[in-house]
Structure 1
Amino acid sequence: MTADSLPLIGAGLDRVDAPLKVTGSAHYPNDFGYPGMVHAALVRATIAAGRISAIDTSQAQAAPGVLTVITHLTAPRLERGPMTLLGPSPPAPLQDDRILHYGQHVAIVVADTAEQARHAASLVRVEYETAKALLDLDDPRAEVLTDPWSLDTDRGDLDAGFAAADVVVEGTYTTPDNTNNPLGLMSTIALWHGDSVTVHDSTQWPHNVRTSLAQIFKVPESGIRVLAPYVGGGFGAGLRMWPHVILTVLAARELGRPVKLVLTRPEMFTSVGHRPNSVMRFKIGATRDGELVAIDADGVSSVAMEDDDYEPVSLCAAVSYACPNVRTRDRQVRLNIPCPGSMRAPAEGQGNFALESAIDELAHKLGMDPLELRLRNFAEVDPLSGLPWSSNALRECYRQGAERFGWSRRSPEPGSMREGRRLVGYGLAAVSYPAYQVPCQARASLHRDGSAFVRSAATDIGTGTYTVMTQLVAELLGLPTSRVRFDLGDSDMPYSPQAGGSGLTGALGNAVHAACRRLLREFLDLVGDDADSPLRGAGLGDVTVSEGCIHRIGAPDQGEAYTDILARHGLEGLSADGRSIPPQSEELGMAIAGAFGAKFVEVRIDPDLGLLRVARVVSAIDGGRILNEKTATSQITGGTVGGISQAMFEDTATDRETGRIANATFGDYLIPVNADVPDMDVIFVGGPDRATPVGTKGVGEVGLVGLAAAIANAVHHATGRRIRSLPITIDQLLL
């Protein structure tokens, strides 16, 4: 069976962009070049707080090949970028002499070659007036922000709930800074053409870069084109427009030549965001039979001095279980750190670790199976609104996941399961990730040769957007996938939101659905009064599509090919635009559901050496309609590896005296290698979500959420030790 003859939606088709990638023909931002292109390098601050008292660029200016050195003394005044869907833009660079974090850009050097630029950057001499840096969440001098986005929750009577509780557990859970670290170094190329500029950038959101640059450089958006057809990963690092992009565009304007900047790996740790650290205090009360009666959750996380990134880490406690009395509070502490940003499963990645660890502690104290406790407190309706879910297959995730994993073989007593000398532990975590959709647009065209071309300014960061949209277009228009071209990554195309928050497939898929339906309507309008057409007078509800033809439902012989319609009317093609609008709970009378899941983990621990290994992971996922089982499985698999990494390896270590990141290389920043990755099993349950035409819910983030808690819970089952801080290290496991 060929790929073209497979059922399209849900079929595990190979990636349509795979041949380009494996042959090296897919062009990433770093791969482009222009005649006369020159290269930039950054100079970064070596203190975390203070001011620049002097900066000497004379040696750098005199170095071979150097064309310019821009500092705060020579840079023009730049306006801060606009408010975005993800909050305010980061501050503009080189605007004054203040140093707000170690690694802050204090100069950009441009030379004929990258080597010359890097050498010259090392010659820039900077003197500082050093101030005492704020680097600790508990520092009493630090400014504390309370609920900046008004997301705190309070329902029921918390005091009464705890008074009614037979069992109460309390715990403090901590997570460190993590750094996104996509394999591809983030890069930018800028080329001005008079008052217009073309930018190649490692972004997950071309339209945001265009809008931001337009405001910062006072250029009409129509004069800015941002290109990102392929991006070497992101994990959230490409969601904001970072200062190095501004500096590259600024240097290109000053020189009147194309400028290319590629961040080094250490620069990636201070230039493109990170998952902020957090401290979460949870208190949970339940009756003797396991009914939750009260949850009190407080979260504290870090934020940069002049940034507004916000991750409400405690919020998941308000939406995950049926509990009548819940309070969540989140605060941020301003520190001298690089700007945080979204990293895969922001907020939920941290908050779920605390919540699901506390639920496990409660189950142990009650003497109840952790799975049974979760089942008893399943939220039949949305806990915040009281509305029925648009879809929720979490119960089925529990059932199928437990069966596949063999949860019934779990011996309840900690330390009771062994394989040889190794301790064996089984752990579980429930998972949810909130629904996220924003408006999106797409344009669909069908040409006289019978091929379709559909485009939108989205990005594919490795998630499979090219492929699933090709499949969707093929099904909606009744074409083989070989006759469909889907294009993206160009801000001149119709507007698309960011590839992030597990929301792009839904927003873009619904826009593509609308565009293809409108295109069909254009064809039907064309033959509406055509006496020679068997489709005369037909509406959308009267027809279906297959094999490049539109025909009446139940009557394949009463139809005609797109190509015949176009030829008869002397047209080279037809086009139509479509847009998606986020569904509204109030209008639909139901709560818009995000993804749900259950994660089951088996660990093995050497009690003498404290060595922890994850042996098996089963992920049962309700992601709504699965457009491509192969790419969706890949997303969950990749997320699982990321969750293992969060649980056992990742820790961005900042020196508490200087603010320097001490492990900003792949030699020092630990991430899993092949030997750390276990057998993984992925099950998709549930069906299309009722809230949107396409019915997807997203699988990007939900793959990571829950792994840290499930592993920590499995460690407790294996050893009796409750781990409340990440990552889980050898010293915590030496028995």
Structure 2
Amino acid sequence: MNVVSANIGQPVPRIDGFAKVTGQATYAAEPHPPGLLYGVIVNSLIARGRIEAIHDEAARAVPGVIEVMTHHNRPHTALFEKSYVDGLGVPGSPYRPLHDGEIHFNGQPVAVVFAETFEAAREAAMLIQVDYERWPHNADFDAALYQKYMPSKTRSNYVPPKTRGNASEAYALSPIKIEGRFHLAPEHHNPMEMHATTVIPEEDCTLTVWDKTQGPQAVQTYLASALSLSGNEVRVRNPYVGGAFGSGLRAQHNVFLAALGAKMLKRPIRVTLTRPQMFTHVFRPEAVMDIALAADRDGTLQSIIVEGVTDTSRFEHNMENLVIWGPIGYKCPNATADYKIAPRDTYTSSDMRAPGAATGVNLFEMAIDELAWACGMDPLAFRLHNYSEIDAMHNMPLTSNALREALLQGAERFGWNGRPPAPRSLRDGREFIGHGMAIGIWDAMFSPTAARARLTSDGRLHIATPASDIGTGTYTILAQTASEAFGIPIDRIDIELGDSTLPECPTEGGSWTAASAGAAVWLACQSLREKFLKALAKSENTPERIRQSEVTLTEGELRGVRDGRREVFSLQEALSFIGEASIEAEETAKPGLRGKISEMRKARFTHSAVFCEVRVDEELGIVRVTRLVNAVAAGRIMNPKTAASQVRGAMVMATGMALHEESLMDERYGRFMNHNFSEYHIPSHADIPEMDVLFVDEKDEEVSPLGIKGVGEIGMCGTAAAIANAIFHATGKRYRTLPIMPGA
């Protein structure tokens, strides 16, 4: 049997769009079970110390207040045992909400008020007074640098840098060199949907948990472990997620506190974080990178030396792949890198869109641009001259590498050849005009993922996988995949996502969902098709004329030709022939071509080339980004509309990194001061120009079963550097700290 369809690669509009814009999509804070109580968290006002007393009498007197939960009266669970280990977190000792009276960071939950209404809970929370014994603390990153260290146990996804040649000697002997400290301010995840959890105790003593998360099965595992429950006693749902950017990769404290409240009060509980509370946790770590680069007079790189440090909490060891990108991406005989983390008395920093690379690539590309200028070379020509066809750090071939094509096509689209080399040479009135560029690189990851496909008697195809759609278009691309794999129109496909009871799937993140879940859906649909046709061929109820036809499945119909006569029958008819109301298949996708990994070890990356135009007001120093072009090499593009949207969204965030976003720490109290949208600046519509995204043709039969590389994070990598480099071209002044502020 043949399948005829052409949905993969088409710019199909989002199939979940109607539900979202009409309010039919249900988010974590929207279920309203009978008897629902609202929980409001009371946060610590100090960074380190111990609670001496909690005065909650006034709070308990507020009408509608049911309970005030603190470390004194909360239920005991496995989370509070000394032996408890958070297998889903980062190395170290995980924070355990309401464990005891010790304060580890400013904003730490010290109480939760539960009330019949949100307004009553909020009013009562404001009446609670807490007496503290204050201990010395440090929230200053510069001071924390003196305590930097490498933990004995690293994160499972951490890639230690490798050394080649003698970088120090080559640097000393090279005629052209630059060195400096590059800095990135901390940034906070600010998704539209704030973190929220609704926990519903069921009659059979199970828990249904609606949570804002990127991985329902990860939250299920966490809660089952924390509450001493079996996995099937906890069901986690997140069918729709209003953005996350990495903030939902691990369970946040609202999840546990809502579940603990439900256990305590035997009623449904909702806990929603406010926007200021979102600034307590989930932030990209502050970082410094000391970079030294050297080259011959012809611009050939001779030495790369990178030392990087990011911040973490005092109790956990958060790490990023920060310093590896230069040694991976550039041909250079001598390279060395070192990475450490610095402890502060804050909550643990966390993964944020393209963690490690968004920082490491952008800061390194700013340094590379400095070296190109020192060599007297055009920035594009310098990168092409030092272009590496392989993973240079590991001396490993790539499954594919179309970065050169991305550089050339992006430059042509932007009009780079017309760029005058000298800074301050383009001007329009009171504004200087500058052109800058940078390259981007991100992992092309794949995780084993399962999916289920089921054909029902109404002729509809149902696809189920717990993968999360955090706004990336997962619903749509999985429907496209199923349509092509099975041969059925998209409008007859139902996609079920975000439910921990569905087949096993990793947490959404790392730009692996399209490749991983897409492959699983493809295999499940193929398996279902074969199972369906075999059952049809074996059934005694199948008409003979159909058995002897060469059958093609297309547009949801089985079509065949026998003795010159065209036979057409519906999927509903076919199911009636085999006497089944439905038929289903489940498959698990694995890395590699058709699930087989190449005998030769190969690295897997997505690449990009970013080109930028800025205008800088000579008197005010205000920067306007006026053009952005991003050429992306990401294997097979499932849907150019949703893929381009993802790249543009990342470029908007990267513009914030370059010019706007900076979480400012008040070291006296260990808290971020600008914890609202009036003072934490993110790009607005007026800050963003028309963004041109083009996808470079790149075939890769080894990176994943369908040849897909993710695009959700590559737009973060290189865009901020391209903006910074364009500012240099406009003004003649180099900046080594992001964001770049007027008057800096």
Instruction: Out of 588-597 and 115-124, give the one that drifted further.
Output: 588-597
Residue in 2 that maps onto 1:685: 696
Residue in 1 that maps onto 2:25: 26
1:578-630 per-position Cα deviation (integer Å, ceiling 9, x unaligned)? 11123499734252422110010000001111111101000111121111111
| 1:719 partner letter | T
Residue in 2 that maps onto 1:713: 725
**Partners of 2:539 and 2:577 within 8 A in 1:** no
Q: How does 1:54-453 map to 2 (within 5 A)?
A: 54-75=53-74, 76-79=76-79, 80=84, 82-84=86-88, 90-139=94-143, 143-146=147-150, 148-149=154-155, 151-163=160-172, 165-193=174-202, 194-271=204-281, 273-453=282-462
Tell me how far apart the structure 2 counterparts of residues 283 and 585 of structure 1 sit (CA, whole Å).
41
Alpha-carbon offset, residue 526 of structure 1: 1.9
**Partners of 2:148 and 2:309 within 8 A in 1:** no
Q: 5+ residue gaps in structure 2?
A: none
**Partners of 1:78 and 1:95 within 8 A in 2:** no
1:362-397 per-position Cα deviation (integer Å, ceiling 9, x unaligned)? 100000010011111221122234333212111111
Tell me how far apart the structure 2 counterparts of residues 558 and 689 of structure 1 sit (CA, whole Å).
38
Instruction: Out of 275-284 and 161-170, give the one that drifted further.
Output: 161-170
Of 714, 717, 724, the match for 2:736: 724
Distance 1:507 1:140, change over 3 A: closer
**Partners of 1:514 and 1:578 within 8 A in 2:** yes
Residue in 2 that maps onto 1:11: 10
Alpha-carbon offset, residue 178 of structure 1: 0.3
SS in 1 for 2:666: coil
Tell me how far apart the structure 1 counterparts of residues 705 and 295 of structure 2 sit (CA, whole Å).
40
Alignment of 1:617 onto 2:628: yes
Tell me how far apart the structure 2 counterparts of residues 164 and 667 of structure 1 sit (CA, whole Å).
51
**Partners of 2:163 and 2:393 within 8 A in 1:** no
Tell me how far apart the structure 1 counterparts of residues 348 and 532 of structure 2 sit (CA, whole Å).
50
- TM-score, length-normalised on structure 1? 0.94
Distance 1:422 1:655, change over 3 A: same
Alignment of 1:547 onto 2:555: yes
Residue in 1 that maps onto 2:37: 38
Instruction: Out of 196-205 and 306-315, give the one that drifted further.
Output: 306-315
Q: CA RMSD in A?
A: 2.4
Alpha-carbon offset, residue 521 of structure 1: 2.0
**Partners of 1:444 and 1:515 within 8 A in 2:** yes
**Partners of 2:207 and 2:233 within 8 A in 1:** yes
Tell me how far apart the structure 2 counterparts of residues 133 and 89 of structure 1 sit (CA, whole Å).
18
SS in 1 for 2:653: helix
SS in 2 for 1:83: coil
Tell me how far apart the structure 2 counterparts of residues 118 and 564 of structure 1 sit (CA, whole Å).
58
Tell me how far apart the structure 1 counterparts of residues 78 and 58 of structure 2 sit (CA, whole Å).
27
| 2:556 partner letter | G
Tell me how far apart the structure 1 counterparts of residues 671 and 613 of structure 2 sit (CA, whole Å).
37
1:257-303 per-position Cα deviation (integer Å, ceiling 9, x unaligned)? 111111111001114x1101001011112222222222111110100
Alpha-carbon offset, residue 234 of structure 1: 0.8
1:713-735 per-position Cα deviation (integer Å, ceiling 9, x unaligned)? 01111111100001100121xxx
Instruction: Out of 36-45 and 138-147, give the one that drifted further.
Output: 138-147
Distance 1:89 1:704, change over 3 A: farther
Tell me how far apart the structure 1 counterparts of residues 299 and 701 of structure 2 sit (CA, whole Å).
32
Distance 1:456 1:537, change over 3 A: farther
Residue in 2 that maps onto 1:696: 708
SS in 2 for 1:413: coil
1:134-174 per-position Cα deviation (integer Å, ceiling 9, x unaligned)? 11233269743316346232223323432553311111100
Tell me how far apart the structure 2 counterparts of residues 533 and 432 of structure 1 sit (CA, whole Å).
57
What is the aligned length?
A: 724
Distance 1:260 1:142, change over 3 A: farther
Tell me how far apart the structure 2 counterparts of residues 143 and 115 of structure 1 sit (CA, whole Å).
44
Of 497, 500, 504, the match for 2:509: 500
| 1:497 partner letter | P
Alpha-carbon offset, residue 185 of structure 1: 1.9
**Partners of 1:534 and 1:560 within 8 A in 2:** no
| 2:525 partner letter | C
Residue in 2 that maps onto 1:568: 577
1:65-122 per-position Cα deviation (integer Å, ceiling 9, x unaligned)? 1111111122225425632387679422111211111111111110111111111111
Identity %: 38
- TM-score, length-normalised on structure 2? 0.93
SS in 2 for 1:587: coil
Tell me how far apart the structure 2 counterparts of residues 512 and 222 of structure 1 sit (CA, whole Å).
24
